[in-house]
């Protein structure tokens, strides 16, 4: 079974983001990747499966937006002649 993989720099180039952003998504488990480094306790060497890449892109796709809700501005009218605005000490 042959499966294609992407490296984090290749993925970053496809999305036009920094390599560090891809690494942050891998560390936060938003993007599934496999560490193929020979030494598991050393520097990680990640590969992203095409299936995981497609799932990640689908999860981040923009959903169609509904109709925008237009809210009326909140109007605050202050009563300057209310008794609490006058001090009793005058």
pLDDT value for 1:
45
Label the pairing between strands 46-49 and 34-35. antiparallel
| Three-state secondary structure call for residue 3 | coil
The distance from CA 16 to its chain's CA centroid, rounded to whole angstroms, is: 15
Label the pairing between strands 46-49 and 5-6. antiparallel
Both tokens assigned to 67 = 């109709």
pLDDT value for 88:
66
| pTM, to two decimals | 0.64
| Three-state secondary structure call for residue 56 | helix
Per-residue model confidence as pLDDT tens digits over 4-62: 999 999 999 999 999 999 999 999 999 999 999 888 788 889 999 999 999 999 988 87
């Amino acid at each position: 079974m042959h499966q294609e993989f992407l490296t984090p720099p290749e993925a970053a180039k496809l999305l036009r983001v920094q390599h560090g952003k891809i690494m942050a998504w891998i560390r936060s488990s938003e993007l599934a990747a496999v560490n193929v480094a020979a030494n598991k306790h050393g520097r990680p060497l990640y590969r992203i499966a095409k299936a995981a890449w497609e799932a990640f892109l689908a999860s981040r796709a923009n959903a169609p937006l509904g109709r925008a809700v237009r809210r009326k501005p909140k109007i605050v009218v202050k009563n300057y002649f209310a008794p609490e605005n006058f001090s009793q000490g005058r």
